[in-house]
């Protein structure tokens, strides 16, 4: 079943909703790549995989938006980029170089973003196949859950590292 473009009133609300998530996805792609570059070698492959999948998920969101006749608003993408850059300016105990606290805070931001992404996939699934057509929302939801698991494990390791404690087992 293919989706039909939405009539104007619901399209307005879905446009705002999906563009809000596009903003988060745009910031999340950059944040995930930076986080992957900052973690130690043992965690790097998993985090790079999550970063790659987040970029793919952003493309899936854009495809859904196009299918629904929802235009990606440039201002939302710019807002996502600005938010990600502003997030780098947070106080972290160091002025000119990266703090050991930064990966932990970035991981928490990534967890919040991925959990929000899971919610958008669930909202679209609740709206039904008439809305989203052939998009495999179950796969997208499953992937988001797996990403949460990877990021939660990374969060535990980063917290242990920051405390100077041995890492929890994988």
Distance between CA 37 and CA 67 in Å, rounded? 34
Which of 47-61, 71-85, 105-119, 124-138 is predicted with the least confidence, judged by mean pLDDT? 71-85
Averaged over 102-130, what is the pLDDT? 92
Averaged over 2-28, what is the pLDDT? 81
Class of residue 42 by CB neighbours under 10 A (exposed 0-12, middle 13-18, buried 19+) = exposed
Percentage of the residues of the chain whose pLDDT score is greater than 90: 52
Tokens of 39: 């973690």
Question: Going from the N-terminus, what domains does the chain have, and what CATH number goes with each?
Answer: 8-163 (1.20.1260)
Condensed to tens digits (0 to 9), the pLDDT of residues 26-71 reads 889 999 999 999 999 999 999 999 999 999 999 999 999 988 888 8
């Amino acid at each position: 079943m293919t989706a039909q473009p939405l009539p104007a009133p619901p399209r307005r609300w879905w446009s705002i909703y999906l563009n809000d998530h596009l903003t988060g996805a745009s910031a999340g792609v950059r944040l995930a790549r930076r986080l992957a570059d900052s973690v130690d070698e043992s965690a790097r492959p998993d985090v790079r995989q999550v970063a790659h999948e987040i970029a793919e998920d952003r493309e899936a969101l854009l495809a859904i938006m196009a299918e629904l006749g929802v235009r990606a608003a440039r201002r939302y993408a710019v807002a996502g980029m600005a938010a990600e850059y502003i997030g780098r300016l947070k106080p972290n105990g160091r002025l000119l170089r990266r703090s050991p606290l930064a990966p932990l805070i970035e991981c928490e931001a990534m967890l919040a973003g991925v959990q929000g992404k899971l919610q958008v996939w669930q909202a679209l699934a609740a709206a039904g196949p008439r809305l989203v057509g052939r998009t495999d929302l179950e796969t997208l939801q499953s992937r988001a859950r797996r990403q949460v698991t990877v990021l939660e494990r990374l969060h535990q390791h980063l917290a242990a590292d920051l405390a100077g404690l041995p890492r929890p087992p994988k």
